[in-house]
Amino acid sequence: MSMPPSLQVTAIPAFADNYLWLIHDQQHAAVVDPGDATPIEDALRSLGLALNAILLTHHHADHAGGVAELLSNWSVPVFGPAGEKIHGVSRPLHEGDVVDLPVLGLRLNVLDVPGHTAGHIAYVAGEQNWLFCGDTLFAGGCGRLFEGTPGQMTQSLAKLAALPDETLVYCAHEYTLSNLRFALAAEPDNADLAARFEQAQQMRARGEATVPSTIGLEKRTNPFLRYREPAVLRTLQSAGRLGNEEPVAAFAALREWKNSFR
Ligand code: ZN
Ligand code: FE
């Protein structure tokens, strides 16, 4: 309704496989997880944009490392998780908080999604059906459990899976092919997954990003949202990776297996 029709999201590649997300309306921009300031400054300059806000999902350097340099050029609010100490954050956020960026006509709802880190948050643009989830949910996978438990991560992923199927998933890394190779090992007979892997290989061969994906596609193909499926449980049991029927144990076994999967 009030959304400017031109609001768009642009991927800014950084480091080996990060995507920094620039939300803009041809004039103003907000950046999600600027791990590096240089490619953001380059993009702002070439697109003729003024930075309006910085949004952080968690404390890792590949997500927050560019904040100090951006703040030396732009006097803007820095939104970030209240549960993590991140230099430069001026607007700490909890689940249920709303980020209002009237200049961009953008409203974002905040979710607590601990697991990858203890205070990790995600941003949901309800009007546009956009999700910025950092390193929690990936295309075909999920983040490593550096600071959280399998139980926390399954709850966090369940919150994201509850979003509308058409929600675009703007995750922070291009890990899709290796994630889908693992997914096929976990669920070899999933036809949607086989088709997705085929398509993702073609996209990467053309040098295209495989993200954003959608919540609907993730629910059909991502083993970390499908750890209760009988086919996934059978794989884990026949590989000797699952001793009991606890759903969270299945998630933990999958995540553990992926850590050493080649
Ligand atoms: Zn991270
Ligand atoms: Fe990361």
Which CATH code for domain 8-259?
Answer: 3.60.15.10
- pLDDT score of 5 more than 60: no
- Which one is catalytic: 58, 59, 112, 120? 58
Cα(192) to centroid(ligand 1), Å: 28
Is 60 among the catalytic positions?
yes
Could you tell me the residue ranges of all domains in the chain?
A: 8-259
Q: What is the DSSP letter of 115?
A: S
- Which one is catalytic: 28, 59, 63, 120? 63
- What's the one-letter identity of residue 236? L
- pLDDT score of 215 more than 70: yes
- pLDDT score of 157 more than 60: yes
Is 135 among the catalytic positions?
yes
Q: Shortest CA distance to 184 belongs to which of 232, 233, 239, 240?
A: 232
Q: What is the DSSP letter of 136?
A: S
- Of the listed ligands, the closest to the CA of 60 is 1
Question: What's the token pair of residue 162?
Answer: 């509850």
Cα(246) to centroid(ligand 2), Å: 29
Cα separation, 100 vs 106, in Å, equals 6
- Which one is catalytic: 28, 59, 116, 120? 116
CB-based contact 167:131 (threshold 8 Å): yes
Is 17 among the catalytic positions?
no
What is the reported pLDDT for 2? 52
Cα separation, 6 vs 26, in Å, equals 7
Is 28 among the catalytic positions?
no
- pLDDT score of 4 more than 70: no
- Which one is catalytic: 25, 33, 36, 62? 62
Is 58 among the catalytic positions?
yes
Cα(136) to centroid(ligand 2), Å: 9
Is 116 among the catalytic positions?
yes
pLDDT digits (tens, 9 = 90+) for 102-153: 999 999 999 999 999 999 999 999 999 999 999 999 999 999 999 999 999 9
Helix (H, G, I), strand (E, B) or coil at 96: coil
What is the reported pLDDT for 247? 87
pLDDT digits (tens, 9 = 90+) for 33-68: 999 999 999 999 999 999 999 999 999 999 999 999
pLDDT digits (tens, 9 = 90+) for 9-42: 999 999 999 999 999 999 999 999 999 999 999 9
Q: Shortest CA distance to 49 belongs to which of 75, 23, 68, 71?
A: 23
Cα(143) to centroid(ligand 1), Å: 7
- Of the listed ligands, the closest to the CA of 84 is 1
